[in-house]
């Protein structure tokens, strides 16, 4: 039996602080160090749980990943969506760095990024957009003008200037996958702009507009790692540009890992994004990780509806499977938190029950971060250890990096052989 299925059966065992010493053999060296440093973490729970020995989509993902690693060819497309934990892109960038640096020759793609700083909100520290223009920012959480058609990113920036300049560069990151193809997501329908790429203009081989789908695709003759883009309006009438994100693509083998997070986002946020399905169909996922849920249940016990939460999560799962019926899905149980900074949030346990139910129905994996933390009230312990902020919801930088380490180790145990990491 492959380690993939061995760990699939482990959730039915009762792991706790009094676990059998023989189980320590299942811990990676990194996990053992974590366990030694943070005794309160339920380290044996750090695995992708499965509720059936037959999980076709995960078996397919494993086969595709193993073939890609052995042949140094092929591409896989991973998505990871959530709220503020992902907009910060700390633990998710740690995961991205592992996926794009662990196997030489498999650098992958950067995927979809959004200029959060131009929308006047916190931007991931691993890239930067700059522009001399004045932009308005919108988040699908609480700003839904009728003329905006949010996509996967769940955010938009707008500008009414006749000439718009936009620059992109990587920052403070060990992985910088080059691109030779861009997909710029913008207004659906009329998009009256000519595009110019400065010193990179001579490398442009094709500019293809898809107005009915709301994006423009640009191909280059060589690989690039920065962007110098100018939009010039080609009509006299006033027009407001809408920008929903830029996708950086290439033909190189490896994993594209796109982390999408909006502060305050919940499942209804993504369900209401008109072009969510369009974006997935343009770039179908091979693995889709759901880390949405903290905002759905950050309320009183009476106000939270497990039934509504289940209906929304099931709709999201179905949306993903419509774009690729073979997509492997990982549902993550939200972290423990405190409601109003005073009350341990009992709703997370109810969310976990729903997640387990849907995991059985759809043969998904589950990463139970609530259990790993220590369940109800564990946020206090994490805060006292310097891993969580005073709001008992968000983590410190150290806490997020620890979460990234745990996700990497769980991924390796589920899908890789020991000689592959």
211-256 pLDDT, tens digit each: 999 999 999 999 999 999 999 999 999 999 999 999 999 999 999 9
- CA–CA gap between residue 176 and residue 18 (Å, rounded): 43
**Structural contact between residues 82 and 265, judged by C-beta atoms closer than 8 angstroms:** yes
Q: What is the CATH number of the domain that holds 144?
A: 2.60.120.260
Q: What is the DSSP string of 195-209?
A: EE-GGGGGGEEEEEE
The reply to whether 303 and 367 lie within a common domain is: yes
Tens digits of per-residue pLDDT, 112-121?
A: 999 999 999 9
Of the residues 229, 249, 269, which one is the last residue of a structural domain?
249
* Structural domain contains residue 260: yes
**Structural contact between residues 414 and 104, judged by C-beta atoms closer than 8 angstroms:** no
Of the residues 226, 249, 272, which one is the last residue of a structural domain?
249
> What is the average per-residue pLDDT within 397-414?
97
The reply to whether 89 and 129 lie within a common domain is: no
Of the residues 249, 272, 297, which one is the last residue of a structural domain?
249
The reply to whether 241 and 333 lie within a common domain is: no
Tens digits of per-residue pLDDT, 65-113?
A: 999 999 999 999 999 999 999 999 999 999 999 999 999 999 999 999 9
Provide the number of structural domains found in the chain: 2
- CA–CA gap between residue 251 and residue 262 (Å, rounded): 29
The reply to whether 280 and 399 lie within a common domain is: yes
* Structural domain contains residue 2: no
Give the per-residue pLDDT at 18: 35
307: domain range?
28-106+256-420
- CA–CA gap between residue 77 and residue 260 (Å, rounded): 14
Please list the residues that pair with 170 across neighbouring strands.
127
Question: Which three-class secondary structure state does DSSP give residue 315?
Answer: helix
For residue 54, what are its two tokens?
């037959």
* Structural domain contains residue 314: yes
Give the per-residue pLDDT at 27: 92
């Amino acid at each position: 039996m492959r380690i993939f299925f061995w760990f699939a059966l482990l959730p039915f065992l009762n792991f706790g602080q009094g676990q059998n010493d023989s189980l320590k053999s299942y811990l990676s060296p990194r996990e053992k160090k974590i366990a030694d440093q943070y005794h309160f973490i339920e380290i044996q729970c750090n695995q992708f749980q499965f509720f059936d020995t037959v999980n076709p989509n995960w078996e397919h993902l494993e086969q595709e990943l193993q073939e890609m690693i052995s042949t140094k060819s092929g591409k896989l497309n991973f998505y990871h969506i959530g709220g503020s934990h992902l907009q910060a892109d700390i633990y998710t960038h740690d995961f991205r760095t592992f996926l794009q640096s662990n196997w030489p020759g498999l650098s992958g793609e950067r995927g979809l990024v959004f200029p959060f700083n131009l929308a006047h909100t916190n931007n991931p520290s691993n890239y930067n957009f700059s522009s001399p223009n004045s932009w308005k920012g919108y988040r699908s959480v609480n700003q839904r003008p009728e003329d905006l058609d949010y996509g996967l990113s769940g955010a938009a920036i707008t500008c009414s200037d006749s000439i718009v300049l936009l620059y992109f560069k990587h920052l403070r990151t060990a992985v910088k996958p080059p691109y030779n193809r861009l997909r710029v997501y913008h207004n659906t329908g009329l998009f009256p702009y000519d595009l110019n790429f400065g010193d990179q203009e001579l490398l442009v081989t094709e500019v293809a507009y898809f107005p009915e789908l709301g994006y423009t695709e640009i191909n280059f003759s060589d690989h690039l790692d920065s962007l110098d883009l100018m939009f010039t309006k080609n009509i006299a009438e006033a027009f407001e540009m809408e920008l929903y994100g830029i996708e950086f693509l290439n033909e190189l083998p490896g994993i594209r890992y796109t982390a999408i997070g909006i502060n305050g986002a919940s499942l209804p946020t993504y369900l209401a994004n008109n072009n969510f399905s369009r974006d997935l169909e343009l770039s179908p996922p091979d693995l889709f990780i759901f880390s949405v849920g903290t905002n759905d249940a950050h309320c009183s016990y009476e106000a939270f509806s497990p039934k509504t939460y289940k209906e929304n999560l099931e709709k999201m799962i179905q949306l993903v499977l419509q774009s690729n019926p073979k997509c492997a899905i990982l549902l993550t149980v939200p972290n423990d938190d405190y409601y109003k900074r005073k009350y341990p949030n009992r709703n997370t346990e109810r969310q976990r029950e729903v997640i387990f139910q849907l995991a059985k129905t759809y043969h998904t994996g589950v990463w139970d971060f609530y259990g790993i933390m220590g369940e109800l009230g564990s946020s206090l312990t994490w805060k006292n250890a310097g891993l969580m902020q005073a709001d008992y919801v968000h983590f410190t930088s150290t806490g997020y990096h620890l979460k990234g380490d745990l996700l990497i180790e769980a991924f390796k145990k589920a899908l890789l052989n020991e000689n592959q990491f």
